[in-house]
Amino acid sequence: MKKILSIICILFISVAAFAVDIPFTWKFNPTSDMVTSYVIEYARPGTINSNFIAVLTLSGTTNGAIVRNLPLGTYKFRLIAKNGVGSSLPSEEISVPTNAPTIPLEFKITP
Amino acid sequence: MKKLLSILSLFVLFVCTIRAASVSLAWDPNSETNLAGYVIYYGTASGQYSNSNNVGNVTNTTVSGLLEGVTYYFVATAYDASGLESDPSNEVAYQVPTAFTPINFRITSLVTNNSSVKINFAWTSSTNSIVKIYALKGTNGLLSLTNVNVILAGSYTNLQSATVSNLSNGTWRFKANSLSPSTGITSLLTSEEPTTKILVKPSAPVGFKFINVAP
């Protein structure tokens, strides 16, 4: 049992050590929107109710960015535009798989 | 020639109806058997006629395209089948009526919510006039009827105020005029030109996508 536990710990650290960079693009909002910044938000794997948080804030003159060093997993991303009045509604959400291992199945304590 | 002139001396101006700055003219018919038609000459100075209409062999016509508030001078000549033209008739003058331009045209309030701005206007105009509000985006260029990139859809009858919305972000200038339904005359644009900046929240971004995943 001790041996198995130590192997699992090693595997976990190894997987956590992997990270990905994810490049995004989008279309500029119409000039009349007077966008001052774009915000990329993401929901972490396993987040209940897709609780999005900001991961990157970019200039309104930017239409591309790379989100770096994300631990492996499947994330949902969306984009929000901001101007002097406030934030837009979010863009459509996109799911980005990052080659994470599949979920262990039949996980249980064996006699 | 003299005979034609004498008959045309009976040239009379009838203002039958005035619609959209036009005037109706009428005269007595000539009696020559070879008469071919009449020409109406007119201009904005007495004795100087920069425009002409060959109206054919009729005894009335309507001259349109006249400018509000301007006085026009008209004469008529007759011509026969051989192309001989009479001397001009007596001259008649007609001043195109003016319509009452709204005054004290102004923005009274600006109500901004998340996605649109409502602008409330007020003015003073004559009773029963139909007021139209015009808008030009940007700070450059003369706001005239030939230079408006948005004519707000509403026309406001018997109202002394109005609300407009759904204008895109930017600086907007406004003017108004009024139409008198009884005369068909449209007034000049207001001298007042209220200006306001409009800014609402941006639209949702589109085309958001990831390019690839590189572990």
What is the distance between the alpha carbons of residues B171 and B88, in angstroms, rounded to a whole number?
A: 54
- Look up the CATH number of the domain holding residue B74: 2.60.40.10
Q: Are residues B67 and B15 in the same domain?
A: yes
Distance CA B178, CA B120 (A): 18
Same domain membership, residue B134 and residue B63: no
Q: Please identify, among B61, B95, B129, the residue that sits at the C-terminal boundary of a domain.
A: B95
Q: Name the one residue in this structure whose structure tokens are 């994330």.
A: A75
pLDDT for A1-19, tens place per residue? Answer: 445 444 443 333 333 457 7
At which of B71, B95, B119 does a domain end?
A: B95
Whether residue A99 lies within 8 A of chain B, CB to CB, comes out as yes
Report yes or no on B205 lying in a domain.
no
Q: Assess whether B172 and B123 both reside in one domain.
A: yes
In 3D space, the residue among B46, B7, B39 whose CA is nearest the CA of residue B25 turns out to be B39
Of the three residues B95, B115, B141, the one that is the final residue of a domain is: B95
Radius of gyration in angstroms for the set of CA atoms belonging to chain B, rounded to a whole number: 27
Same domain? B107 vs B162: yes
Tell me the domains of chain A and their CATH numbers. Answer: 19-97 (2.60.40.10)
| Over residues B94-119, mean pLDDT | 84
| Beta-carbon separation of B215 and A20 below 8 A | yes
Distances (CA, A) of A83 to A36, A74, B18, B118, B178: 5, 30, 52, 19, 37
Q: Quick check: helix, strand or coil at residue A68?
A: strand
Residues 21-40 of A with CB under 8 A from B: 21-27, 29-30, 32-35, 38
Average pLDDT of span B73-79 = 94
In angstroms, the separation between the Cα of residue A108 and the nearest Cα of chain B is: 30
User: Total domain count for chain B?
Assistant: 2
Q: Tell me, what's the pLDDT at A101?
A: 53
Is B204 a domain residue? no
Mean pLDDT along residues B49-59: 95
> Does residue A49 surpass a pLDDT of 70?
no
How far apart CA B132 and CA B151 sit, in angstroms, is 8
For B29, the domain range is 2-95
Q: Which of B171, B169, B177, B105 is nearest to B144 (CA)?
A: B177
**Mean pLDDT value across chain B:** 82
Q: Could you report the per-residue pLDDT of A71-85, keeping only the tens digit for each?
A: 877 789 999 999 988
Chain A contact set for B208 (CB, 8 A): 24-26, 77-79, 91-92, 94
Which residues in chain A are contacts of B203 at CB distance < 8 A?
29-30, 33, 81, 88-89
User: How large is the average pLDDT for residues A95-110?
Assistant: 66
- Taking residues B175-200, what's their average pLDDT? 86
Cβ of residue A91 closer than 8 Å to a chain B Cβ: yes
Instruction: Tell me the C-alpha distance between B57 and A31, whole Å.
Output: 60
**Domain assignment present for B24:** yes
